[in-house]
Homo-oligomer: A and B are copies of this chain.
Amino acid sequence: MTDRYASFVRSGAGRALVKRLGLPDPPRLRRHTPGEPLLPGPALLGAAGGSRLAVQVGRILLDAGVELRDTPASSTPDPTTGRLPGNGALVYDATGITDSTGLRQLYDFFHPQARSVLPSGRVIVLGTPPAGCGSPREATAQRSLEGLVRSIGKEFGRGVTAQLVYVTPDGDAGTATSLEATLRFLLSGRSAYVSGQVVRVGTGTATAPADWNRPLAGQVVLVTGAARGIGAAVARVLSRDGAQVVALDVPAAGDALAAVVNEIGGTAVQLDLTGADAPARLADHLADRHGRVDVVVHNAGITRDRTLGRMDADRWDAVLDVNLSSQERINDVLLERELIPAGGRLVAVSSIAGIAGNRGQTNYATSKAGVIGLVDALAPALAGRGISVNAVAPGFIETRLTARVPLVIREAGRRMNSMAQGGLPVDVAETIGWLAWPASGAVSGNVVRVCGQSLLGA
């Protein structure tokens, strides 16, 4: 669970060696501390001609306490040092680009600023979802943004993340609130290990919190697999953000579960989700104790790796059942009994193995690809009930499980991403938290990778 290489390269001797040999240089990532400023420096906000979001974005940034720069001021080098002033973030509204020839405006904005972004700074490009564009030319240009953002994520280094946010053209309040929530998440240290992602903000209903430091205040949240690793981190982060956490795990993990629950002041449910009566028992528990569950975080998951020719049927069945089928059974019962109210959130945990496939993980990848299918299918189906459905897809996260991966594979997984390091369970938890916020209601149908922009994909 410790990244000794990262510790080494941050030492004096390590620094020198890394520079000399051109070794990977994992930066120390900026992570969220409640009450801290959203950015390590001012944000530079730019917009293509005819863009529709810049004013709204500017207001969001100012409300969040971000110091704003506009383009002309900041591209002037400091008269003493001759250097550009450092930017905490570059935010560009590209919604006005309606033709590929207009993409030049991206170059004009980013080229002079490319070296101005501070460590762990942020690059955010806002666009219109190609499917919602008025012409093939506009859709093509808007789709191009993805290539730019993913390249910037790979180029800028030093913990800088780059994201593309597609915002559905709609004056709806849900969109505005969800854009605020999404920008706050993406600018903050909460998204330390999220980069190269495309996030879609649609038109669902969203509710701004009274206090952005407690965005989950009053929410009843169920977290499965909460005794250890990512699940325990989710329980802690969501509790920190104001949620009342119901932490679930199998009876065998009862002690670890109790420790988490005692730490955060939540309640524990010991239950094996694969049992035939588990969904009904869980629903009963939630109905009796809370009368509802606002957020369901389907985190429980297992691996039983073998190549397909050597895999016994039990390994296939167990992984598919825990990671996928049991989620479906629980969703169905909770929805049928109307225990998830309007404003509810389903957040599932997929995996980059579910996106890219993986050797020795036909069972796991099948189950985790299914989770993506579940999001794609349920998000539109539940939109009418005001329930959002999203997933995170973790890449290499430092846990008890990855600590057991053989050294060479572990090092490849750790370094082959734009952050040159593995993520922490808290990084996945913060991302799940954002998707769970009442303020994120118009963020639905997304699968957000928490992978430091891993090279791996499909």
CA distance A56 to B104 in the complex (A): 50
Contact of A373 among B141, B149, B356 (CB under 8 A): B141
Given A144-B370, A328-B137, A370-B143: A150 in contact with B377 (beta carbons within 8 A):
no
* Chain A interface, >50% SS class: helix
For A185-223 the 0/1 string (1 means CB < 8 A from B) is 000000000001000000000000000000000000000
Assess whether A151 is interfacial by the CB under 8 Å rule.
yes
**8 Å CB contacts to B: which residues of A302-339?**
307-309, 311, 313, 316-317, 320-321, 324-325, 328
Q: How many monomers of this chain does the complex have? A: 2
1/0 contact string of A353-392 vs chain B (CB within 8 Å): 1111111111111111110111011100100000000000
> Across the interface, do A457 and B143 meet the contact criterion of CB distance under 8 Å?
no
Which residue of the partner chain B has the closest CB to A307? B155
Judging by beta carbons under 8 Å apart, are B313 and A107 in contact? yes
Q: Is the CB of A100 within 8 A of B325?
A: yes
In the bound complex, do residue A151 and residue B457 qualify as a contact, i.e. CB atoms below 8 Å apart? Answer: no
List chain B residues, Cβ under 8 A from A280.
none
> Closest residue of chain B to A355, judged by CB?
B457
Interface status of A103 (Cβ within 8 A of chain B): yes
Q: Are A357 and B140 in contact (CB under 8 A)?
A: no
The reply to whether A146 and B369 contact each other, CB–CB distance below 8 Å, is yes
CB pair B133–A367 under 8 Å, yes or no, is: no
Residue A455 at the B interface, CB < 8 A? yes
A130 within 8 A of B: yes
User: Is the beta-carbon distance between B139 and A362 smaller than 8 angstroms?
Assistant: no
Most buried by B among A150, A325, A374, A378: A150
Known contacts A457-B356, A458-B150; A320 and B103 CB within 8 A of each other: yes
B contact residues around A378 at 8 Å (CB): 136
A148 CB within 8 Å of chain B: yes
Q: Does A403 contact B (CB under 8 A)?
A: no
Question: Given A136-B377, A153-B357, A377-B133, is A144 in contact with B324 using a C-beta cutoff of 8 Å?
Answer: yes
Residues in B whose Cβ lies below 8 Å from that of A309: 111, 114-115
Could you list 16 further interchain pairs (A-B, Cβ under 8 angstroms) beyond the known A136-B377, A356-B455? Answer: A100-B367, A101-B321, A110-B308, A130-B373, A135-B377, A136-B381, A140-B328, A143-B374, A145-B366, A147-B353, A151-B308, A151-B362, A152-B357, A154-B358, A356-B457, A455-B457
For this complex, 11 residue pairs linking A to B, each with C-beta atoms less than 8 Å apart, are: A101-B325, A107-B363, A114-B309, A130-B377, A136-B378, A139-B373, A144-B373, A155-B360, A356-B455, A356-B457, A455-B455
